[in-house]
Copies of this chain bind each other. A is one copy, B any other.
Amino acid sequence: MKLATLKDGSRDGVLVVVDRKLHVCRRVPAISPTLQFALDHWATVAPQLQAVYDALNADPADGDTFIESNCHSPLPRAYQWADGSAYLNHVELVRKARHAEVPASLYTDPLMYQGGSDAFVGPWDPIYALDAAWGIDFEAEVAVITGDVPMGADGATGAAAIRLLMLVNDVSLRNLIPNELAKGFGFFQSKAASAFAPVAVTPDEVAAAWRDSKLCLPLHVSLNTIPFGKPNAGDDMTFNFARLVAHAARTRELAAGTIIGSGTVSNRQGNLHGSSIGHGGVGYCCLAELRMLETIEKGGATTPFLNFGDNVRIEMFDEDGASIFGAIDQDVVRYDAAGVEDGRPIGARL
């Protein structure tokens, strides 16, 4: 089934069931007011939502028009957002651009950071920043939402705990990263608020493409309407989601509603020339990767990071070309703190 959260001015929005084609939706207040509530009571709530989903697909005329731009992220705020870095091609390029070794542990021990999850923005909300000099970059990723996971769970338990799949734009502030990581405590200021595609889907919706806890479809990214990346999220993923969930659960329980990200999707390619979409490659899911190739081959990066006014669009299509999750479509906009008069997180505003 497919689920989304409509903005209604509240912090958590309102849960809707969306039909398979993303044309119509239905509110389900008698079943579950929010997606977090559904995740908290999944065993009893999911079958009821599934029944609504089946009815909606059978009779779409019975639904309200579904408008992606009215959506918040499926979980407007979450109790946990843990982002892996499972596509090691991305990590290897970073190191190569720095002339640094890739430690052997990277191939056996997943990288994962704890991200901020108190105030995501909606999929069509702006990327807000105060200063373009922060080095604003998108990172297109796949993410899963889990149920409860016991401490010490193995991969099979991790796989069984995956409730929903999503797409995410994990916005990074590249120019703040070196100093912050040098302090040794990981990312904090160098990560802006993330946005998730409008619709979260159960794995059975992508049954043919969900193999070995990987989503084996191209992830499409456009920059200012020009195709920029379409790597296959099932390729070159060293650690699958089952493994990433188990990694997160090694020393503590994960509570229902935990979001685990894949890290920037990245496929191994040849040289700079052949890797761009314009030259027959699959392109990139972040600007940094292109800049690393430029650095390796040309001695310096020439592609700039995002500036105010730039647009990023992230979407994934099924074998028939239909959008699975709806699109993330974000402009970069200067944040105006003067608009915070009501103290409500900016993503919750209408």
Contacts and interface: CB of A to CB of B under 8 A. Distances in A.
Interface of A: 11, 40, 77-80, 82, 85, 103, 105-106, 109, 111-119, 128-130, 134, 147-148, 150-153, 173, 176, 179, 181-193, 247-248, 250-258, 335, 337, 340, 343-346
Nearest to A11: B40
Contacts of A253: 119, 193, 340, 345-346
A79 B82 contact: no
Nearest to A130: B152
B190 A187 contact: no
A183 to B, nearest CB: 6
- Where chain A touches its partner, the secondary structure class is loop
B251 A130 contact: yes
Contacts of A116: 80, 82, 114, 252
B185 A186 contact: yes
Nearest to A148: B343
B119 A11 contact: no
A311 to B, nearest CB: 20
Contacts of A77: 79, 255
A184 B180 CA distance: 10
B151 A337 contact: yes
Given A119-B254, A152-B337, A190-B251, 10 more contacts: A109-B179, A111-B184, A118-B257, A148-B343, A151-B335, A151-B337, A176-B251, A184-B186, A189-B251, A253-B340
A258 B118 contact: yes
9 contacts: A105-B183, A113-B114, A118-B255, A152-B337, A181-B185, A185-B187, A189-B251, A191-B251, A255-B345
Contact of A247 (B147, B176, B189, B248): B189
A188 B82 contact: yes
Given A186-B185, A251-B134, A79 B112 contact: no
A192 to B, nearest CB: 6
Q: Which of A173, A182, A188 has the most CB of B within 10 A?
A: A188
A251 B192 contact: yes
Q: Which of A114, A252, A346 has the most CB of B within 10 A?
A: A252
Nearest to A346: B253
A255 B11 contact: yes
Contact of A252 (B183, B193, B254): B193
A345 B255 CA distance: 6
Nearest to A176: B251
A183 B94 CA distance: 14
